[in-house]
Amino acid sequence: CMNYMLPISYAWGNFSVLAVGIWAIVQRDSLDAITMFLTGLLLTVLTDIIHISIFYPSHDFLSDVKRFSIGMAIFSLLLKPVSCYLVYRMYRERGGE
């Protein structure tokens, strides 16, 4: 997000899911908050794949800073299925079906 290689929608999507995640952690009895957080995580997996595939720079314009930035975006994308699994377990603990 700090290199401005990916569009602003990438940052808005991930930061809004982060805000919903904080809301889901604070309100431990709310099933709606955890459902919105899980849905947001699943949607950002799809949008992150689209953003990275469309806005990946060519080899000629790939500096070290851009390489690090895209590496962190891919690392974040790889960790999201683990996060989805853990949030799903929280959803089941709170009484979700």
Q: Identify the helix (H) or strand (E) that includes residue 46.
A: helix 31-55
pLDDT of 34:
93
Find the domain containing 68 and state its range. Answer: 8-94
pLDDT of 1:
62
pLDDT of 88:
94
Alpha carbon distance 75, 94 (integer Å): 29
How many structural domains comprise the chain?
1
Asked, for residue 65, whether it belongs to a domain, the answer is yes
pLDDT of 2:
65
Phi, psi of 96 (to 5 degrees): -75, 155
Asked, for residue 3, whether it belongs to a domain, the answer is no
Over 47-82, what HEC string results? HHHHHHHHHCCCHHHCCHHHHHHHHHHHHHHHHHHH
Asked, for residue 86, whether it belongs to a domain, the answer is yes
Asked, for residue 2, whether it belongs to a domain, the answer is no
Asked, for residue 1, whether it belongs to a domain, the answer is no
Asked, for residue 71, whether it belongs to a domain, the answer is yes
pLDDT averaged per 10 residues in sequence order, the chain, 97 residues: 79 93 91 94 95 85 84 93 94 84
pLDDT of 58:
79
